[in-house]
Amino acid sequence: MRLGPSSRPPSRPPRRRTPVTGARLAILALSIGALGFGCGRDPAGVGAGVPDSGSAPRLRVVCTVGMVADVVRHVAGDRVEVVGLVPTGVDPHLYAPTRSDLARVRDADLVFSNGLRLEGRMTDALDRVAAAGTPVVPVAERIAVGELLAAEEHEGAPDPHVWMDPRLWAQAVEAIRDALADEDPDHATIYRENADAYLETLAAVDAYAAEVLASVPADRRVLITSHDAFNYFGRRFDFEVLGIQGISTESEAGVRDIEALVDLLVDRGIAAVFVESTVGNRHVEALLVGARAQGHDVSIGGSLFSDAMGETGTYEGTYLGMIDHNATTVARGLGGIAPSGGMRGRLAASGDAAEASR
């Protein structure tokens, strides 16, 4: 959590933003549909991609977290058998691999992880597998070092939550594409075509997020969440971001941290904070109680997906749906303009799929 003036983003004059009207959002949605969602693939579905009719054995691919597995399914199509390790809605910082997990990793043709210490308790096992000869690709570590943010509580280690910036996550897509092509060169063309299609839809969801988040008034562009998972999101979409806990959910917020955030809420008149689908709400509830005790009402603006996506088989259970949900929820929760159904009208009717997945 960063409260000191030296670690907060520098103040800047309010930007002149074009109001987002219903008509503009409709035009944006239509352009998104024309760009990548009507070409015979459903980039938001599970297992989308160019099918392969060949009889060659499929690659056995293991992925640690859902955000990585979702991209692999889109880029590889039917060419791979994908196994994800961390279950839906489970915090990867805390997940301890089971014996069956370790067996799957050892038997895999290729393993994809996020890296950057996200998979804290799996890291040693992945290192051992790599040393034994199984290719292990930490996709976030392929991102240019100059684009990574520092993890304040882990000196010398970068913040692993790179998927919160779709433009950075595009580099992870490219890393997955290249690793698949290297492992299975006979089908490299399939991987490249699928990756190109997916990158187009990634650009589309990024454009939608930028559009709706720009509608939040400048003085409300403060995103307070359960832990520091949204710093890349804040940098990309011009929000000040504060987490009650640190980069890893293994860290614990102290009483002074809570009190300092309560004072900030009151002093700056912040009206909403956000909970996360994989983190308990007790610290957020403490903020609400503390602010109320000082005569300032703060509400929960919504529940966000941070370290895991939504339920398998749902739109929110895809990377694109995750970003769509987060951008739409933050925009609406902080006074911006966004359609309740999100970019394509596919978000859960409750508008709070993250809470439903808890």
pLDDT along the chain (358 residues), means of 10: 38 38 46 38 44 68 97 96 92 91 95 94 92 96 93 76 97 98 96 98 98 96 90 97 65 70 91 84 86 92 93 96 97 96 86 46
Give the amino acid at 347. Answer: L
Q: Which of 188, 186, 75 is nearest to 139 (CA)?
A: 75
3-class state of residue 244 by DSSP: strand
Provide CATH 3.40.50.1980 ranges for the chain. Answer: 36-209, 210-356
* Contacting residues for 145 by C-beta, under 8 A, at least 6 apart: 158
Angle at 44 between CA 40 and CA 49, to 5 degrees: 45
Q: What confidence score (pLDDT) does residue 155 get? A: 67
Pairing of strands 136-138, 222-227: unpaired
Q: What confidence score (pLDDT) does residue 34 get? A: 40
Q: What confidence score (pLDDT) does residue 351 get? A: 46
Helix-, strand-, coil-residue percentages of the chain, each rounded to 5: 45, 10, 40
Q: What confidence score (pLDDT) does residue 246 get? A: 55
Q: What confidence score (pLDDT) does residue 339 get? A: 97
Question: What residues does 63 pair with on adjacent strands?
Answer: 84, 112
Q: Look up residue 205 and give its DSSP letter.
A: H
- CATH 3.40.50.1220 corresponds to the domain 36-209: no
Q: Is 157 exposed, middle or buried (0-12, 13-18, 19+ CB in 10 A)?
A: middle
Fold of 210-356: Rossmann fold (3.40.50)
Tell me the Ramachandran region of residue 335: left when phi exceeds 0, alpha when psi lies from -120 to 50, beta otherwise: left
CB atoms within 10 A of CB 217: 11
d(CA 177, CA 44): 18
pTM: 0.82
d(CA 43, CA 49): 8
